[in-house]
Every structure is written in C-alpha cells, then in structure tokens.
C-alpha cells in the first residue's frame, strides 16, 4: 500500500535542518509514514533565508579577523531581523565549539568559517532534499534554480559566496503569472473570504489575492514577498495533500477557504 503524501512548507523544512536531536527525531517519526513532497517555491524561500543568512555571515567572518568584530558588525546591520537571524546561527555555531579551549580564538574563527562554507556548498541543501520524494514545480521559480557560487571580492580581499535571492523586475524567469491566471477562482475566493479576518496580515493577504485576481502578472518580480509566498504555497498545495507548517496562524484560515487540509501534529 502506498504511503499518504504530505507537503512540507518552508518553516518545517528549516526546522528539519536546524532543530536539535530530540525535535529532529520527533519530526522523523512524525514524517516517516508519509511520502514527503515540497515545491520549488519552498526551495526558493529556503535559499533566500537560511542559505542566504549563512552566506552573509560567512562574508563577515571572511572580512574580519576577530569574531567580536563580526558581532559588532551584526549589531550595526541596518536590517535588524536579518541581523538577529545571523546572530542566532552564529550563537549556535559558537556553542558547537564549547568543547574547544577557547570560544573566541583564531582557530574557532577558522573552524566556523569552514563550517559555514560547507553549509553553503552542500550541507544545508542536502538536509533540505533529504527524504523528499517530489518537488512540485508549478511556478518554475527561477530563484529555486540558483545555487551559491564563490567569487573573488575586492572588499574582503578573498573569496566570498554569492547567491541571487531577489527577482529581477520585468524579467520573466518563472511561470508565476501563468499560474496565478489559472488560480483566479481560488484568488477571488480568498479575496472574499479573508475580508472577514481581524488579523492585519490576513487582511493584507486578502487584498493581495484581490489584486492578483485582477492582474496576475503583478506577482512576478520583486513583488514576490512572504505574504505572497504563503498564498502561493497554499495555492500550489494539491487538494488531497495536507500541508505541514508551523505557521498555523496564517495557513489555517487560507486553507479553510480553499477547502484544503492542514496537518496537525503534536506541537514541539
């Protein structure tokens, strides 16, 4: 008998990669009865969060001789959310060196530098793809096809990784607009259904759905934000497949309108 299918969204994919052993085991047990799928759009989101954060952190470690300088630089980062995400990754990597003699010595810096390079070259993506049976590619997301590449940087005087994580406006590199066209009835249903919500994020998604049903091409390019991302994941989710996510607050009402299912497991 074939296994039932389960769709993994970006939050669960990030959890699968970075969670501690106990949660990872719990996730493995939860997921083992299922045939796991995700989409290229989720892969694109994964690349522009976790992989991009690792790249930006690696660049800073390459740039500065001492880790305290890296931390100061992160403190001065204009985007506080991105800086906080990088700090969480750095904290985790430093904790990994607790068994070493000193946390802030030159060797630790090199070790973290190499570790991040390995994460970027294949580590994070290997974990992303692990156990997946299929990657739905309705949107033909161009960013999902991007991979980190090392290039010489004159500012840091060494090799740094680069990854394009933003779409180029007016350049067609995905089928998002065509998909939005085919999802027009669902978009109208979302636009109507979400007007009743009190959560400002859901209201914003409802407005987006309305805008997209009128002008599907608008989805393409830099307008492709996280608001839109959640809508896309909900729309590309097959009818008979439940979605596994930690973001219940946003997905529960969206999926209810679309007549799709949410997977509910024991919370971590």
Partner 1 sequence: MPKTMSITEARDNFPALVRRVAEQDEPVVVTSHNQPKAVLMRWETYQAQQQAQLEGARYRLAHCVTSMEQLAGGLLEAYRPDSFDLEHGTQNLLRLAKEAWLICRLLDQPHRHLASLLTDVLLILVERKGQLTEVQLARWLSALPLLRQDELTNELVAKVNQALLEVGLTSIFPMEEADVTQYLALVEEAA
Interface positions with partner 1 (CB under 8 A):
10-11, 14-15, 17-21, 23-24, 49, 81-82, 84-85, 88-89, 91-93, 95-96, 98-99, 107, 110-111, 114-115, 117-119, 121-124, 126-127, 130, 201, 225-227, 229-230, 246-247, 250, 268
Nearer to partner 1, 130 or 182 (CB): 130
Nearer to partner 1, 149 or 238 (CB): 149
Nearer to partner 1, 71 or 178 (CB): 71
262: left (phi over 0), alpha (psi -120 to 50) or beta: beta
Q: How far is the CB of 19 from partner 1 (least distance, A)?
A: 6
Q: Which tokens hold the place of 163? A: 């990854």
Please state whether beta strands 5-8 and 149-153 pair in parallel, antiparallel, or not at all (unpaired): unpaired
Nearer to partner 1, 23 or 238 (CB): 23
* CB 13 within 8 Å of CB 128: yes
Nearer to partner 1, 118 or 222 (CB): 118
Nearer to partner 1, 88 or 182 (CB): 88
Q: Cβ neighbours of residue 139 under 8 Å, at least 6 residues apart?
A: 39, 40, 41, 174, 175, 176, 179, 232, 236
Q: How far is the CB of 117 from partner 1 (least distance, A)?
A: 7
* CB 54 within 8 Å of CB 88: no
SS3 at position 39 = strand
**Placement of tokens 């570790």 in the chain:** 115
Q: How far is the CB of 171 from partner 1 (least distance, A)?
A: 23
Q: How far is the CB of 75 from partner 1 (least distance, A)?
A: 16
* CB 58 within 8 Å of CB 112: no
> How far, rounded to the nearest angstrom, does the alpha carbon of residue 1 sit from its chain's CA centroid?
32
Q: How far is the CB of 239 from partner 1 (least distance, A)?
A: 25
Q: Cβ neighbours of residue 55 under 8 Å, at least 6 residues apart?
A: 120, 148, 160, 161, 162, 163
Q: How far is the CB of 23 from partner 1 (least distance, A)?
A: 6
* CB 265 within 8 Å of CB 28: no
Q: Which tokens hold the place of 194? A: 């979400």
């Amino acid at each position: 008998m074939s296994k039932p299918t389960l769709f993994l969204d970006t939050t669960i994919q990030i959890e699968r990669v970075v969670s501690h052993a106990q949660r990872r085991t719990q996730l493995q047990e939860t997921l083992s009865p299922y045939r796991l799928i995700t989409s290229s759009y989720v892969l694109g989101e994964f690349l522009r969060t976790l992989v991009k954060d690792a790249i930006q952190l690696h660049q800073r470690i390459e740039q500065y001789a001492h880790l305290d300088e890296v931390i100061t630089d992160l403190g001065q980062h204009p985007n506080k959310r991105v800086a906080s995400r990088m700090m969480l990754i750095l904290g985790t990597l430093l904790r990994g060196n607790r068994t070493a003699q000193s946390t802030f010595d030159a060797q630790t810096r090199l070790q973290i530098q190499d570790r991040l390079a390995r994460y970027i070259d294949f580590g994070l993506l290997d974990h992303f793809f692990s156990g997946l049976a299929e990657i739905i590619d309705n949107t033909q997301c161009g960013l999902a096809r991007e991979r980190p590449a090392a290039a010489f940087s004159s500012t840091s005087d060494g090799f740094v990784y680069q990854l394009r994580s933003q779409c180029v406006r007016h350049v067609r590199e995905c089928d998002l607009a065509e998909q939005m066209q085919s999802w027009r009835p669902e978009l109208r249903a979302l636009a109507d259904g979400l007007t009743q919500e009190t959560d400002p994020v859901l209201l914003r998604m409802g407005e987006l759905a309305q805008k997209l049903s009128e002008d599907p091409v608008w989805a393409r390019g830099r307008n492709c934000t996280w608001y839109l991302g959640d809508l896309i994941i909900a729309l590309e989710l097959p009818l008979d497949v439940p979605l596994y996510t930690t973001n219940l607050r946003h997905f529960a009402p969206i999926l209810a309108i679309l007549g799709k299912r949410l997977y509910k497991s024991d919370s971590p």
